[in-house]
Structure 1
């Protein structure tokens, strides 16, 4: 049997694969200069700090810890939770049509995302293609994060996946490597064009 006969499911990461996510989309609106914004994101609201949201800590609790260390930045820190949606200005170009084509071809689509609690429903409201994902596992809700194998196991169980018959797509090399170790096929996302070519070569999409 060829790959096309074997592959039955595709798992999508969400941030920077299906939708654009970057705190700069929000903070560019409030800082006078790029340099000030970069200093704030490099020293105050860092990625390391943000990862606690993805682990399940509430915005309020995580902000409180940070505001105690940076009381002069309290208002800016609170914006992270209050205006989190503005970090996602739009979908990633040309991926929605691939999701729709896969869905139409009868491929089971699922999501596995490092994301704070409560934000996924908002995204589904804004980007209807996300509603085509049958099961989506969100790190903040599970208290587990990629690339920890345990969160992949949660999705495997919930979605009834056979990793060898499933393509995993993520923009993070570490997350793709973790999927490969569990027996998934993997694709490191760099853009819709490369992904479309990969989907065609795997027989998941018909040649255009």
Structure 2
């Protein structure tokens, strides 16, 4: 018997194996890729990845990135955007089967992700099991992201779920904790096997 009537899933590192280095591998030397993904860079990839999740367009990101890094380095970001679907490396082990088993058990499955609409659509095209998600709230469309409590409230309202019988699964502990604060059952993802024990005991 299922433990919850509804389960809301994060995408990256829960359902989907997202590896952002892959689009640049073979295009640039490893040192250039390391520089591009350097978390110490105040105006580096991770800064703009967050702004992308908040609704910034690719062209706006490229223009702003070029202001800080110059046109030659900005071209690396352009190549990343052109090849970014390659970063969707697959579904995480065991998650396709878990989605199908939850659906078969009558559990309604949903998505809530800090991602772009374009990326979510690409993932759903690439991985048919994601069609089992009845709807997805995407941060870039909402212009807010987790762990802002408002995005959880919007998901609850849009999906018309009862928080008391709904689990939210995220790989980041603070996002799971924020879900619990608004009444959902926040679960930090550590792997499909552990999650299965919690959702289908």
TM-score normalised to the size of structure 2?
0.92
Q: How many residues align?
A: 197
1:205 paired residue number = none
1:53 paired residue number = 52
Deviations 1:56-106, CA, capped at 9 Å, x for gaps: 000111111001221221220112321121111211111100000000111
RMSD of the TM alignment (CA)?
1.7
Q: Which protein is richer in strand relative to its size?
A: 2
Could you list the runs of 5+ residues in structure 2 that have no partner in the other structure? none
Deviations 1:100-129, CA, capped at 9 Å, x for gaps: 000011101100000023222221111111
The runs of 4+ residues in structure 1 deviating greater than 4 Å are none
Please tell me whether the aligned partners of residues 164 and 184 of structure 1 are also in contact (alpha carbons under 8 angstroms): yes
1:14 paired residue number = 11
TM-score normalised to the size of structure 1?
0.89
Residue 22 of structure 2 is aligned with which of 21, 25, 36?
A: 25
Deviations 1:13-60, CA, capped at 9 Å, x for gaps: 011111111211222332322x43222211364312210000000011
User: Aligned partners of 1:119 and 1:27: how far apart in 2?
Assistant: 17
2:67 paired residue number = 68
Following superposition, the deviation at residue 3 of structure 1 comes to: 8.0
Q: Does 1:38 align with 2:34?
A: yes
User: Aligned partners of 1:85 and 1:196: how far apart in 2?
Assistant: 28
